[in-house]
């Protein structure tokens, strides 16, 4: 089946009226027939070789993870993400993962883009401010859903490239500029909605001022590797916060980063809540798949019982907890992630460790779809330097400790720690996940 992508901005209502000469109707019909003749079902791949990949992405990774807005799903399905990533990354363009786009920046995963867009509740009359243009992909996804998008990028090279891409692909209702997103775009204010695709430690006041009364802001706020995505609604001049999910975004640079009070220590990497003792508090309890210290949880829950060794002594000592991952659909995600500050110049080797218990675990559709604890290292440009793991763990087995020494590439600037089933089926419990610097 042939799939055609026509950007909504190209189709305008009222350009052709019923009273115009019938030859226009005949010409339109002829063009439609000509397209049908020229693009046969067997030529679908030639017309749009990425269409099937986008459909699969939406079906298996975005909709299955909880995004339900049909307009948002359709925009993800029709926006050519491969056009917004470097040529070297195109083969991974429709994987549900963040990818490096240069200048130490990344393009967010399709699920996160879809989730943030849905949370924004875009309306056809909305004027939206985006902070952090990046590749331009988020602006492209928003374009058919709103009246106009104003997008700011602090990195000149990225901003210029995004503008060229958006212009070439035909997004006339997206305006871009180079500047510090902390300051917003006062000339175009007020905005109905603001979406921030980089993380400050706290909300910049200029953005609060430029949001109209009753307007909404979607923004990740927090420490460098411990952030929460919020929906904030402006009421009586102040922001009312609603937490949506833990997350990890690149930092908002410029004035926002200069004012950051809490900064990570890459010379002493550590795992936050690796023993899963910390429970959700307050409004965090309403978040689905939320485990404090971790983000992007899928099909996971914090379970409190005897702990990893199951002894009565530990049970009597207080609350013992672990993370439980359960999945019955081969290939469906079930995991937790955590960002780690680590410098390869200060840390040459670590010990990666954890405890695991499995029940009826079966391998998923790929060789990597098995329970494990994995760590991936990245350089200053967020290029992948390699992944190392303990596991995989199969079948049914009691609690067992595992560990291994891992040499840290000297170019390392940060890492992502991953725990879960990763597409396998069954149940896997993890506890006492840690990394320890080895001198």
Q: Catalytic amino acids?
A: 108
Question: How deeply is 269 buried, as exposed, middle or buried, from its count of CB atoms within 10 A (0-12, 13-18, 19+)?
Answer: buried
Cβ atoms 426, 358 nearer than 8 A? yes
Q: Closest Cα to residue 133, out of 75, 80, 195? A: 195
What is the rounded distance in angstroms from the CA atom of residue 264 to the CA atom of residue 234? 31
For the chain, what is the total number of helices (H) and then of strands (E)?
Answer: 10, 19
What's phi and psi for 301, nearest 5 deg? -145, 150
What is the rounded distance in angstroms from the CA atom of residue 20 to the CA atom of residue 229? 52
Question: How deeply is 331 buried, as exposed, middle or buried, from its count of CB atoms within 10 A (0-12, 13-18, 19+)?
Answer: middle
- 57 to each of 61, 110, 137, 215, 374, how far by Cα in Å? 5, 8, 15, 31, 23
* Residue 383: other Cβ atoms inside 10 A: 14
What is the rounded distance in angstroms from the CA atom of residue 81 to the CA atom of residue 339? 24
**What 3-state DSSP class applies to 404?**
strand
State the pairing for strand pair 372-378/384-390. antiparallel
Question: How deeply is 317 buried, as exposed, middle or buried, from its count of CB atoms within 10 A (0-12, 13-18, 19+)?
Answer: exposed
What is the rounded distance in angstroms from the CA atom of residue 316 to the CA atom of residue 309? 13
**What 3-state DSSP class applies to 256?**
helix
Dihedral angle computed from the Cα positions of residues 27, 33, 35 and 40, in that order, rounded to the nearest 10 degrees: 180
What is the rounded distance in angstroms from the CA atom of residue 140 to the CA atom of residue 84? 9
21 Cβ contact partners less than 8 Å away, ≥ 6 residues apart: none
> With the C-alpha atoms ordered 114, 79, 103, 435, is the resulting torsion angle positive or negative?
positive
Which stretches of 295-424 are assigned E, i.e. beta strand? 295-298, 300-305, 320-327, 335-341, 349-362, 372-378, 384-390, 395-407, 414-420
């Amino acid at each position: 089946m042939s799939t055609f992508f026509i950007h909504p901005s190209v189709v305008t209502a009222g350009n052709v009226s019923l009273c115009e000469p019938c030859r226009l109707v005949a010409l339109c019909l002829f063009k439609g027939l000509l397209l049908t003749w020229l693009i046969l079902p067997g030529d679908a791949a030639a017309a749009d070789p990425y269409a099937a990949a986008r459909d699969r992405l939406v079906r298996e990774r975005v909709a299955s993870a909880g995004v339900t807005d049909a307009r948002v799903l359709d925009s993800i399905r029709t926006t050519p993400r491969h056009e917004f990533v470097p040529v070297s990354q195109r083969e991974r363009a429709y994987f549900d993962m963040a990818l490096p786009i240069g200048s130490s920046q990344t393009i967010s995963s399709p699920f996160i883009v879809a989730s943030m867009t849905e949370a924004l509740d875009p309306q056809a009359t909305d004027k939206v401010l985006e902070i952090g243009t990046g590749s331009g992909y988020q602006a492209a996804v928003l374009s058919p859903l709103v009246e106009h998008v104003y997008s700011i990028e602090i990195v000149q090279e990225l901003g210029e490239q995004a503008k060229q891409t958006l212009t070439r692909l035909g997004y006339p209702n997206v305006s871009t500029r180079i500047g510090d997103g902390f300051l917003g775009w006062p000339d175009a204010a007020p905005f109905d909605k603001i979406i921030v695709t980089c993380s400050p430690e706290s909300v910049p006041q200029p953005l609060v001022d430029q949001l109209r009364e009753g307007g909404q802001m979607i923004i990740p706020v927090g420490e460098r590797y411990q952030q929460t995505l919020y929906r904030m609604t402006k009421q009586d001049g102040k922001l009312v916060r609603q937490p949506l999910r833990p997350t990890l975004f690149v930092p908002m640079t410029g004035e926002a980063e200069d004012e950051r009070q809490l900064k990570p220590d890459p010379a002493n990497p550590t795992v936050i809540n690796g023993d899963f003792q910390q429970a959700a508090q307050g409004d965090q309890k309403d978040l689905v798949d939320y485990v404090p210290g971790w983000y992007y949880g899928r099909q996971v829950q914090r379970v409190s019982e005897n702990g990893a060794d199951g002894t009565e002594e530990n049970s009597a000592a207080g609350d013992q907890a672990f993370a439980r991952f359960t999945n019955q659909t081969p290939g469906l995600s079930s995991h937790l992630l955590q960002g780690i500050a680590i410098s390869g110049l200060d840390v040459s080797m670590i010990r990666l460790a954890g405890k695991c218990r499995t029940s009826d675990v079966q391998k998923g559709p790929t060789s990597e779809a098995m329970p494990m604890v994995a760590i991936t290292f990245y350089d200053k440009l967020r290029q992948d330097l390699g992944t190392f793991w303990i596991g995989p763990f199969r079948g049914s087995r009691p609690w067992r400790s595992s560990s291994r020494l891992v040499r840290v590439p000297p170019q390392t600037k940060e890492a992502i720690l991953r725990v879960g089933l990763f597409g396998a089926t069954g149940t896997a419990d993890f506890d006492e996940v840690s990394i320890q610097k080895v001198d």
